[in-house]
Each structure stands twice: as C-alpha cells, then as structure tokens.
Amino acid sequence: MTARERVVALRRTLTAVLLVRAGAFGAAAVLAGVVVARALALPWPFAALPALAGAVVALTLGARVRPARSLERVALWVEERHPALRYALVTAATRGSLHDAIERQALQEPWWDEERRRLVRALAVPLTALAAAFLLALWHPVLLTRGTASTRDATRSGPTGASEGVDPLASIRVVVTPPAYAGRAVTTSDDPTSVDALVGSSILVSGVGDAARVAATLDSARRGVAPRDGRWSTSVVMPSRPSLLRLRSVAGRERLVVLAPIVDAAPVVTLLLPARDTVVRAAGGSLLLRAALRDDIGLRDAAFEIIVSSGQEENFTYRSATLARAALGGRQEGGLEVRLALDSLGLKPGDVLQMRAVAHDANTVTGPGLGSSETRALRVARAGEYDSVSVDPAPPGEPEGQVLSQRMLVTLTEALDKRRPGLARRTLISESQRIAADQARLRKRVGDVVFQRIGGEPLSEESTFGTPVGKLTPEELLARAQAATKSSAGETMDAEGDETPILAVNKPLLEAFNAMWDAGRALELGETRQALPPMRRALAAIERARQAERIYLRGRPSAVVVDVAHARLAGKDKGIASQREPRPVVDLAQRRRAGSFARATALLARDPDAAADTLLVMRVGALEDAPALAAVLDDAARTIRRGDAGAIALAWTRVRRALGGVPIARGSLPAWSGAP
C-alpha cells in the first residue's frame, strides 16, 4: 500500500473512533441523568433534562470528526507523533508520490500499526463509562421494583401487616384541574401548604399507602378516601369560600392543606362615548356609542342596551332594545362601538334615552358574570322649559326618590316571567329578589304617605310607630290614627259617620300597601306569576288614590330637640380641658389572631409542625378580610416545613408586621420632650 492509501485508511479508523467516543459519552450522560432523576423522584420535565444533556455532549464530541475528514490534517496529526518522517507523509498524502525517495521516507517506519493501537486504546474510557452507566440503570430499577412490590404487598396485607411501618402522609401530591371555560393547564404540586385555584376547580390529593389508614375532612365534613394503583386519593371541588382540608392517618399524623379560592371577577365595562348626560332641543342625526371591555379570564359577548321612556309620573311608557351584540371568543380585553340613528327612535319632547354597555364572561360554574357600565341619558327638552330665563337651582333629589314606580315594576316582572323557561333557577331567584327589593322600597314610600296622613312619623328608625311587618286591616289603621291623635276609641276623627275622611283617603293606599306585601313575598321566592296579580292590584289602587279628592289635614308642629336660645351661655365649662390621647380601637378579630400567633410562637420551639398548622388555620380566616396577612402566613408555614432557621426569623417578623396593620407614616420626627 502506498503512503496515501495508508493515510486514507487511518482517516476512516479515526472517524469511526471519534463517533464511537461521542456516542458512548452521550449515552452514559443520558443513563446517569435518568438514574439520578429516578432516585430523587423528580417530575417528568426535570427527567427530560438528562436526555438534553446527553445530546449536547454527543454533539460537542462529534464536532471533532469534521477536521478528521481532511487528509492533510490526518497526516499532520501523524507527523506530530513521528518527527522522523520530516513532512514526507504530508507531501505524499496531499500531492501523491512525486519521487520514490519521498515514498520510501514516508514508509520507512510502521507508524500505521502504532496509531491504530493508540486509537483502539482511546475507546477504553468511553466504553467503560457507558458500561458503568448501563449497569447502574439496570441496578436501580430492580430496587425500585422491589420497593414498589413490597409497598403493594404491605397495602394488601391491611393495617395488621407490614404496611404499619409505611406513613401514608409522609408525602402528598395535589393535582388541580381548572374549569374548562378557563382554558388553563393542569398543575401538580408536591407537599403544598395551600392550594390557590379558581372556584369549581377539581382538586385530587393522593399519596403512597393504604387508603384505609387515611381519613379526610373538609371543614368538618367527611370526605371519601379511595385506593388507586397502590396509592390513596381523595377529590374535592374548590369551594367559594376559604376552607381547610384535614388529613389524618391511623398512626396519628395530621396534614393540613388550605383551599384558597380565586373568584372569577365580573367583566369591567367602561362607557367611553357619550361622555356625559345631555339635554337637547330636538333629537336628530346619529350618536356614537363606544365602550371598553376587560375581564380577568375571558369575555363571552357584549352589547349596548337602550331604554326610551315617555311620559311623566305614573303615566309613562318605555321601549328597550339591544344593539351591536358581539361574540368575543374568550378575549380578556376588547372594545364595542356602534352609531345610533336618533331619527329612527322617534323621540318627542320630554322623552329620555338611557344607554349603557353590558358584557358577560364565559364562567359556566358560578356565572356567567355580568358587568355593566354607568348609564348615560339623553333627554329631549319640553317646550315650556325655555319660556323663562330666570331659573332657580333645585337641590339634588333624595336617594329614596329614585325608586322605580309600580308600573315599571309590573313591566319588569312581566318581562322576567316571559324569560323564566330559559333561565336557571339561581339566575331567576337573583333577578326576582332584585325586583322584590325595589318593591319593598316602594312599599315603604307608600307606608310613609299613609302614616304621615294619620299623624305618625315616616317608617324609619326614628318612627313613633314600628314598621309593619305584614298587612294592615282598616281597623288596625284606624287604631294607629286614633293613637296618633290621642283620641279615645269611640270618637270619630274630623267628621261624623261610620267612616272617617282619613280612613276614606287611605283605603286605596292601604290596599296598595297590603298588595305590595303579597307581591314582595312571592318575588322573594321567585314566583313571578303569583306576584303579578297583587302588583297589578297595587297599581290600580295607586291610580284610584291619585284621582281621589285631596283633603289637607291639620298638621302637628315638629318637636324641638334642643332649645338653642334657652341653652346658650348656660354651660359650666370654663373652656379648659386636660390633654387627651386617642385610644386605638381594638378589633376582636385582630385580638384573636394575635392570640393564635402567640400560641404558634410558643409551639415553634418544641413542635414546628403544630406551629405551621396553627398558621394555616389562621390563614383560612384571613383570606376573606386580610389578604396581605394570609400571604405572609402561607410563606411562614412553608418556611417552617422546610426547616430553614434563618428564614423562619424573617418570616416571623413579617407576620408580626402584618398583624399590626398598616404602619403609621409621619412627615418628620416628633419634637424632643427632654431627657427624663
């Protein structure tokens, strides 16, 4: 063979050796990483890291094959180890045998046998590493299989067998599956102190051991524990309020897991245009409606709602419509815009156009949640409003004066009764009770009119007569009128005859008062059909009262609470008072939490697990009204479970600060009062 042919053969051998070394080292790294991941019981994302590391090692070592493809570099590599060749081998390999002398000099010593043996020896280390990693991988699963088999045998043997030595609560795993509408991934956590998830999420708690040796309770309600593939498991649904999952084993160990619900907030709707209420002389042209929408999880749909009301007092009509309804497909933010043609509404003087934007989220567990913007009003001015230039400013109306009228309540109830077959029971009850609350406020206004006419005070906390809890008969009304005027039971008030003018005027209002009571009771139970007849009777009675003859009775002067003229300059105080310091108001809940924290501090030295459980119980109560305190309590409980002494002191300080409330900020240092 010529020198060039021997270099070509050596190049093939060198390439094969380099590839084998790269593959052996990469495979050894993968096997070693898998063994470590199994030994530490790492989850699958971390178990995939060894494969990535092995690939990186193999690619890094395999990159050395590229230079070996050049004959010149291979020849130079041989020349470095055999200086006696004097570059004759490089010349013969790259340019061929130009002279016999160069060929003889390149083959004067058997360098090819020595280099081949050296390359074979270079495979010893990677092959040894690969064999060791392979044996380790075979050895570890054998132990794992034996341990699993012994655990299963212990589980089958029951509490009297070898399973008594296995603690089923030594380690727990929690798998949280969010509701389908949220579109979130399933999460897994090992040995958590608390679980934060959306309301309605499915929570699976499991561990290794016999299910018969574990008991689970959720806020004093017992939960079932079932066996599953040699493990125990219990499943709960995230409640709407903070709860405590308590796990107990037969051996006496106890684990606490706080269930912290995340409530799906209703959509936030902001009406951008129109920016304010408007009064116009004539309604014409078009009006641009624009709204911004936002939700914490996802929006389902949105639309504009308009109501056109015509008339005044009790004689009015209204029309409603929905505009630009759009499906948002689960987006967290969006916008809505439409141009409303005012000419198509046919607005007349005195008509009021009310506009708002509404949006629903995709919550199928506790919803859907409804968010609405503030209402904008466009009013068409009446013809007589501009007759006078001098206008006396009117004070703002009382909040009680904004209650819906009886006719509006009847219309709303009729609309709800039509939608009743397609509504869920919870939604029907909610909307019906909202109408019942408006009916109760209107009933109170009617009662105020009735009792003011008989000389009593309005139905309020300061009223002379207690607020009626039910219906009133004419005899009861007459008795209240007689008591108000201090008359005897047999006298007639202000007139002769069987029926007094006061009772005659109040009869229609009394009928409306009692009918509203029946309607309110039916609406509280969601019975819209049973509520409509008494509501219509109340409306008819109010109409009769409006058409009745007006009788103005003699009123009583209001009682003087303080006679200012008599009390002026009659005091004995000289105007000198001692200096007083404000006393902080002690909250009972804060006092109880301080006592629980003191007990946890006492338990910290002798029983850290009990101290951590005390903090978790405190966190359940703090989740609703003190979220900042709940966060530091969870952090402190996890720190205790880890056993980090340095971090425990810092976590304890944070809990003390959170228990003390918001710190007081002063603009400067207080004045120095002198040395004692």
pLDDT tens-digit readout, 83-124: 666 666 666 666 665 566 666 666 666 776 777 777 777 778
- Decide: 494 and 502 in contact? Cβ < 8 Å: yes
pLDDT tens-digit readout, 575-626: 666 666 666 666 788 888 888 999 999 988 888 888 888 999 999 988 888 8
Work out the percent of the chain whose per-residue pLDDT is above 90: 23
Integer Cα distance of 632 and 659 in angstroms: 10
**Is 180 among the domain residues?**
yes
**Is 149 among the domain residues?**
no
Average pLDDT over residues 80-84: 67
pLDDT tens-digit readout, 485-504: 444 434 434 434 444 444 55
Cis peptide before 584 (omega within 30 of 0): no
- Does 328 share its domain with 456? no
Structure-token match 């125990």, residue found: 232
**Is 290 among the domain residues?**
yes
Mean pLDDT (the chain, rounded):
77
The pLDDT of residue 186 is: 93
CATH number of the domain enclosing 361: 2.60.40.3930
**Is 667 among the domain residues?**
no
**Is 174 among the domain residues?**
yes
- Decide: 480 and 454 in contact? Cβ < 8 Å: yes
Q: Which residue has the higher pLDDT, 506 or 446?
A: 446
- Does 372 share its domain with 455? no
- Does 510 share its domain with 537? yes
Q: Among 262, 297, 315, which residue terminates a domain?
A: 262
Return the minimum-mean-pLDDT range out of 416-425, 501-510, 567-576, 633-642.
Answer: 501-510
Asked if residue 258 has pLDDT above 70, the reply is: yes
Tally of structural domains, the chain: 5
- Does 229 share its domain with 317? no
User: b/e map of 615-632 (b: 16 or more CB within 10 Å)?
Assistant: bbbbbbbbbeebeebbbb
Integer Cα distance of 223 and 235 in angstroms: 8
The DSSP code for 393 is P
SS (H, E, C) 153-178: HHHHHCCCCHHHHCCCCCCEEEEEEC
Q: If DSSP codes are grouped into helix, strand and coil, which group holds residue 206?
A: strand
Question: What single letter denotes the amino acid at residue 596?
Answer: S
- Does 379 share its domain with 418? no
**Is 341 among the domain residues?**
yes
Residue by residue, DSSP assigns 567-631 as HTT-----S------PPPPPPHHHHHHHHHHHHHHHHHHH-HHHHHHHHHHHHHHHHHH-HHHHH
Asked if residue 140 has pLDDT above 60, the reply is: no
CATH number of the domain enclosing 214: 2.60.40
pLDDT tens-digit readout, 387-433: 554 444 545 544 444 445 888 899 999 999 999 888 888 888 999 99
Asked if residue 480 has pLDDT above 60, the reply is: no
- Does 250 share its domain with 290? no
- Does 472 share its domain with 533? yes
Q: Locate 336 and state its tokens.
A: 């809505």
pLDDT band (50, 70, 90) for residue 173: very high
Alpha-carbon distances, residue 429 vs 239, 264, 367, 487 (angstroms): 21, 21, 14, 46
- Does 251 share its domain with 284? no
Q: Among 262, 285, 304, which residue terminates a domain?
A: 262
Cis peptide before 393 (omega within 30 of 0): no
pLDDT tens-digit readout, 523-567: 998 898 999 999 999 998 888 877 765 555 455 556 667 777 777
pLDDT tens-digit readout, 237-247: 999 899 999 99
Residues 6+ positions from 661 with CB-CB distance below 8 Å: 590
The pLDDT of residue 202 is: 93
Integer Cα distance of 634 and 615 in angstroms: 7
**Is 85 among the domain residues?**
yes
- Does 546 share its domain with 409? yes
**Is 196 among the domain residues?**
yes
The pLDDT of residue 99 is: 65
pLDDT tens-digit readout, 272-311: 999 999 999 888 889 999 999 999 999 999 999 999 988 7
The pLDDT of residue 590 is: 84
> How many other CB atoms are there within 10 angstroms of residue 116's CB atom?
15
Q: What are phi and psi of 549, to 5 degrees?
A: -70, 135
Domain that holds residue 233: 166-262
- Does 487 share its domain with 454? yes
The pLDDT of residue 232 is: 92
- Does 444 share its domain with 477? yes
Q: Across-strand partners of 287?
A: 340
- Does 420 share its domain with 537? yes
